[in-house]
Amino acid sequence: MSVSREEVQKIAELSKLQFSENELEKFTKDLSNIVDFADKLAKLDVEGVKPTAHILDIQNVFKEDNVKPSYKREEILKNAPSAQGGCISVPKVVE
Amino acid sequence: MKDYEVIIGLEVHAELSTNTKIYCNCTTEFGADPNTHCCPICTGMPGTLPVLNKKVVEYAVKMGLATNCKIANFSKQDRKNYYYPDLPKAYQISQYDLPLCENGHIDIEVDGKKKTIGITRIHIEEDAGKLIHDAYTGDTLVDMNRCSVPLIEIVSEPDMRSAKEAVEYMQALKSILEYLDICDCKMQEGSLRCDVNLSVRPVGQKEFGTRTETKNLNSFKAIQNSIEFEIKRQIEVLENGGTIYQETRRFDDAKGEGYAMRTKEEANDYRYFPEPDLAPIVLSDEYINSIKESLPELPNVKKERYLKEYNLSLYDANILTMSIKTANYFENVVKKCNNPKMVANWIMGDFARLLNENDISIDESKISEENLANLIDLIDKGTISSKIAKTVFEEMFNTGKEAKQIVEEKGLVQISDEGAIKEIVEKVVENNPQSIIDYKAGRDRALGFLVGQVMKESKGKANPGLVNKLLLEILNK
Ligand SMILES: [Zn+2]
């Protein structure tokens, strides 16, 4: 396996996700397959090829600095599971 | 105890004063009701597409050029991944390996000595939202108005060796940002803040010690105090045989204490990768040069000019050029009254004190440049004494009235009529026979006392030069 169970566990923690033993097993296998597939690229000769910064051949896509109306607050809070005082309410954050 | 050397590097975050956010057209205005400056893009809704604000690139390049950086012809943006409720996308768009500006430096002055501080890089990124703790429910509330307000992060080399140097460096950056007019630098509102990386090592040791990072300091006092606290703490730990851990810390300015954050070390794995939604930034030399040509006179250059053109002391030039507002005000007053030294004294003396007491900046004061110039003319011409001028100045500061009007209304014109002064002098001499005896006995203090009495009698309006002259004439008769 090119991805270890420990790596999957760490990624899960960083992503604030919890997996059962079975899920851990499954994701380790799936992620390994994905990495193996992508690893084919590592076997190519890329001598003299510039690193890709973007998959499309575009550059300098800018917007002007002009203010447009924002959304109504009700719209912004519509998808929040919980809101109070015009804010999204989340479980207490400890630093 | 061993002697220790302190190594400090700063990461300074400056919010850019663009009209709109970095990837959408929401306003960046400060202080609105929570979540009223938001749209699907800056709140990270799926399926939205960010587009980079052109002004952000321009401002960052300006700062890069003003700090002697090399500007990248090719630059890109990357995703910095972490989960925190103030970051709706769960990643911050920043720059990783190809920042806009690299390898710069600025000069600072500490105790009269010049020192160069290296700037590793300046990159563009988006700010996070604000978390408010609700004491009543115990929940955390999220206000996303600040999400995606544009920032530049200015990363220094570990070149500073004391709290004083760090504060001077921060002050120098603030001056430059204000001169360029790209950040409002309101530290209490968080638009300019910094993280301090600090380590200590015994003098003579080659390797750096383990460093800690104290986050989010938003006043010069907090920077100074947190650094002094952390230096003391690290040395104490080492002296007691302990170990410094690489950790992220906070500083409680009210308590004057730093503490380690409870976040796990693991959280520092940001798994950067190129931002696929944004195109690379390609800047031509022509573009970079045109920005270079548009730069204003910067603080160090202005300071040199003040020394030469106005013949000011280094101290005066330093203070006057620190803020662009003060410098502009100073130059405009000098243009009108042509007495640089006196203008400098007023701005750095009574004016600075009153501005400080009222917590306003010079451009918010009621005294127009023209009014201050007129006041100085009145002193130059001898119409009022410098002592009276102080009273007039306070009145001008409080009411915004013109100097001349105040002088007329209050009858403060200086008495320069010899006859009138002589009358008062004679009266004072007559009423203070003991002082005459003291003076003749060689006690010089008696003269000062008599001058004081005459000034008092004239309500401060007598021309002090004439008072002195006439008194001496009578006393030495
Ligand atoms: Zn928006």
Q: Are residues B195 and B111 in the same domain?
A: yes
* pLDDT at residue number B264: 53
Residue at A82 is within a domain: no
Determine which of B19, B21, B35 to mutate to test the interface with A (most A C-beta atoms within 10 Å).
B35
Contact A54 B274 (CB under 8 A): yes
Residue B266 has pLDDT above 70, yes or no: no
Residue A23 has pLDDT above 80, yes or no: yes
Q: Are residues B277 and B306 in the same domain?
A: no
Residue at B22 is within a domain: yes
Residue at A26 is within a domain: yes
pLDDT higher for B111 or B232?
B232
Residue at B259 is within a domain: no
Q: Is B102 helix (H, G, I), strand (E, B) or coil?
A: strand
**Proportion of chain B in helix, strand, coil states, percent, rounded to 5:** 45, 20, 35
Q: Residue B333 corresponds to which tokens in the numbers above?
A: 């007053």
Distances (CA, A) of B96 to B50, B158, B393: 18, 19, 53
Predicted confidence band at B267 (pLDDT cuts at 50, 70, 90)?
low
Residue at A16 is within a domain: yes
Instruction: Name the least confident of B106-110, B219-223, B293-297, B410-414.
Output: B410-414
Residue B359: Cβ-neighbour burial (10 angstroms; 0-12, 13-18, 19+):
exposed
Please give the average per-residue pLDDT across B402-422, as a whole number: 82
> pLDDT digits over B203-236, tens only?
999 999 999 999 999 999 999 999 999 999 999 9
> pLDDT digits over A51-68, tens only?
888 989 899 999 999 999
* pLDDT at residue number B476: 80
B290: number of Cβ within 10 Å:
11
Q: Are residues B281 and B135 in the same domain?
A: yes
Residue at A78 is within a domain: no
- CATH number for position A35: 1.10.20
B235 Cα–ligand 1 center, Å: 46
B146 Cα–ligand 1 center, Å: 10
Predicted confidence band at B116 (pLDDT cuts at 50, 70, 90)?
very high
Q: Are residues B107 and B198 in the same domain?
A: yes
Q: Are residues B319 and B172 in the same domain?
A: no
Residue B436 has pLDDT above 90, yes or no: no
B370 is in which domain, residue-wise?
297-410
Residue at B224 is within a domain: no
End-to-end C-alpha distance for chain B, whole angstroms: 71
A31 is in which domain, residue-wise?
5-43
Nearest CA in chain A to B24: A63
> pLDDT digits over B300-344, tens only?
999 999 999 999 999 999 999 999 999 999 999 999 998 999 999
Please give the average per-residue pLDDT across B5-18, as a whole number: 97
Q: Are residues B327 and B471 in the same domain?
A: no
Contact B271 A14 (CB under 8 A): yes
End-to-end C-alpha distance for chain A, whole angstroms: 36
Q: Residue A74 corresponds to which tokens in the numbers above?
A: 């009700």
Q: Are residues B279 and B392 in the same domain?
A: no
Please give the average per-residue pLDDT across B279-303, as a whole number: 97
Kind of pairing, strands B212-217 and B248-252? parallel
* pLDDT at residue number B272: 94
Q: Are residues B376 and B465 in the same domain?
A: no
Q: Are residues B382 and B435 in the same domain?
A: no
* pLDDT at residue number B451: 86
* pLDDT at residue number B419: 83
Q: Are residues B303 and B430 in the same domain?
A: no
pLDDT higher for B120 or A91?
B120
- In chain B, which residues have their Cβ closer than 8 Å to the Cβ of A54? 76, 274, 276, 278-280
Residue at B145 is within a domain: yes
Predicted confidence band at B420 (pLDDT cuts at 50, 70, 90)?
confident
Q: Are residues B312 and B335 in the same domain?
A: yes
Residue A2 has pLDDT above 80, yes or no: yes
pLDDT higher for B89 or B407?
B89
Residue at A11 is within a domain: yes
Please give the average per-residue pLDDT across A19-44, as a whole number: 93
Residue at B242 is within a domain: no
How many domains is chain B partitioned into structurally? 3
- Report the complex ipTM: 0.90
Q: Tell me the C-alpha distance between B90 and B81, whole Å.
A: 6
Residue at B80 is within a domain: yes
If you average pLDDT over every residue of chain B, what do you get? 92
* pLDDT at residue number B440: 83
Considering only CA atoms, which of B210, B213, B302 is closest in space to residue B258?
B213
- Residue A40 Rama label (left phi>0; alpha psi -120 to 50; beta): alpha
Contact B35 A86 (CB under 8 A): yes
Residue B265 has pLDDT above 80, yes or no: no
* pLDDT at residue number B388: 83
Q: Which residue has the tokens 């009543």?
A: B136
Contact B142 A88 (CB under 8 A): yes
Residue at A72 is within a domain: no
Q: Are residues B284 and B301 in the same domain?
A: no
Contact A70 B85 (CB under 8 A): no
